[in-house]
Each structure stands twice: as C-alpha cells, then as structure tokens.
Amino acid sequence: MLLQIPNVLNEAQVRFVRERLDTAGDAWVDGRATAGYQGAPVKRNQQIEQFSPLARELGEVILAELERHPLFISAVLPNQVYPPLFNRYEGGMQFGSHVDGAVRLLPNGTKVRTDVSMTLFLCEPHEYDGGELIIEDTYGVQQVKLAAGDMIVYPATSLHQVAPVTRGVRLASFFWAQSLVRSDTQRALLFDMDTAIQRLNSTQADDAARRSLVGCYHNLLRLWSET
C-alpha cells in the first residue's frame, strides 16, 4: 500500500526543522554511512549523523506528531518506529535503485524489522528540480514529490530510488516502522475496513452493523497481529 499522509508537520514545525538543518554544519556526513552493501554503491547524498543529538531532537518532533496522527496509526499500525534520519540532495546527488535493509539495529541492540518505509518531505516541490522518490509497486512506477510537511508511506519491500537533484536542495526525513501486522496485504485490508467504519460512523449508519464491523476489524487484527 502506497499512501500519502498530509500535514504530518505544520508550517512552523517545517520551518523549525529546516532552520536547524541549515545550520547543522559538520553534522552532515556521507550518506553511505548507513547504507548496506547493496545501497552504498548507488547512494550519493548527505545525512545528519545517525543518533546524533540533532537527529534525536528533530526526530522527536516528528514522532510526537505521528503518535497522534490517526491516518498514520490506521495505515501503518506501528509496533515500533525507527528514529527518523535526515538527508540532503544537491548538485546532482541521487540514490540509485535499491530495496531497504530488512532489519535496523538501535544503539541498545534492539532490532527493528522494516515493514514500512516513510519519507517526510521538508522542501516545497518548486524549490528543487528532480529529486522524485520513484517507487515500483504492483501498479507500476510511482513518482512522488510532495509538499513540505507531507509524508509518503510504502512497503519496505519495494524497489525504489531518488532521482538526481539538478537544481536547489532537497531535504527530507526518512525512517521505518515495524508494524503490528507484517503483511502489507493484510495491513491494506485493515486500513480499508477502518476507513469504511469511520465513514459509517460519520453518517450514523445502522448501529448494530457498525458494531459488527468493528468486531470483525479487531478480530482480524487479533488474528494477524504479531504482538
């Protein structure tokens, strides 16, 4: 399931994050520092040093908003979210076609399975040329370039790339979630059911039918959940 989640950060929050990134100086390092053997040869970008104080500070801003974003919760069903990372592309930088690594390791040794990949855009589309996130899924190739503060969510199993940035600077945050439900197909079904239930609730549809559907939703989640 590929889904756009709007307004994860508001205008003031985007401005704050960008101001901190613009003055990061030596905190920007070669993006290959966090790339696996498959990604390193095709990765040309910069990113804020992983687990640095700045990355933690800005990541907490994003995670605090996601914790109360109903669309994110419904679509991702997060069990654990890997701390957000921040990258920068300019002057022809790009990230060639790759699949994200299956497991990420936290400093305390905890392993996070990457079921869902996320990119939160921090620049407006008109500020740079190129830089599209290109995702290959079952419906073909999707090119994504969203407004600042909006986020794209997609299966981490997807082959994807970032097109070369030929003008301006592209800033973004990227990270992963381990979902309560490992299967993308099952997550998509639960998301569709939850969306339908919310629409029925808003129209005050038959109360008994709604209770039945809510029960089905939770029983399916109970059946498919891994925790």
The CATH number for 118's domain is 2.60.120.620
**Whether residue 64 has pLDDT greater than 80:** yes
Tokens 């992963």 sit on residue: 176
- Distance linking the first and last C-alpha atoms of the chain: 22
Nearest by Cα to 86 from 116, 115, 112, 61:
61
Residues 10 and 44 in one domain: yes
> Which residue type, as a one-letter code, is found at position 220?
L
Is-contact 150 5, C-beta < 8 A? yes
Q: Quote the pLDDT of residue 87.
A: 97
Residues 123 and 220 in one domain: no
**Whether residue 10 has pLDDT greater than 90:** yes
Residues 159 and 202 in one domain: no
Q: Quote the pLDDT of residue 37.
A: 64
Q: Quote the pLDDT of residue 158.
A: 95
The C-alpha atoms of residue 165 and residue 134 are separated, in whole angstroms, by 13
Within 13 Å, how many C-alpha atoms sit on residue 175's CB side?
Answer: 29
Q: Quote the pLDDT of residue 36.
A: 64
Residues 27 and 51 in one domain: yes
The C-alpha atoms of residue 93 and residue 161 are separated, in whole angstroms, by 12
Nearest by Cα to 144 from 158, 129, 157, 134:
134
- Please give the average per-residue pLDDT across 13-35, as a whole number: 90
Q: Quote the pLDDT of residue 39.
A: 65
Residues 153 and 204 in one domain: no
Residues 97 and 198 in one domain: no
CATH number at residue 209: 4.10.860.20
Confidence of residue 31 (pLDDT cuts 50, 70, 90): confident
- Please give the average per-residue pLDDT across 80-105, as a whole number: 96
Residue 65 phi/psi, 5° resolution? -75, -40
Q: Quote the pLDDT of residue 93.
A: 97
Instruction: Provide the domain count of the chain.
Output: 2
Summary mean pLDDT of the chain? 94
Q: Quote the pLDDT of residue 189.
A: 97
The C-alpha atoms of residue 20 and residue 28 are separated, in whole angstroms, by 12
Residues 69 and 19 in one domain: yes
Domain that holds residue 219: 184-224
The C-alpha atoms of residue 216 and residue 144 are separated, in whole angstroms, by 34
Residue 34 phi/psi, 5° resolution? -115, 10
Q: Could you say which DSSP state residue 58 is in?
A: H
Confidence of residue 152 (pLDDT cuts 50, 70, 90): very high
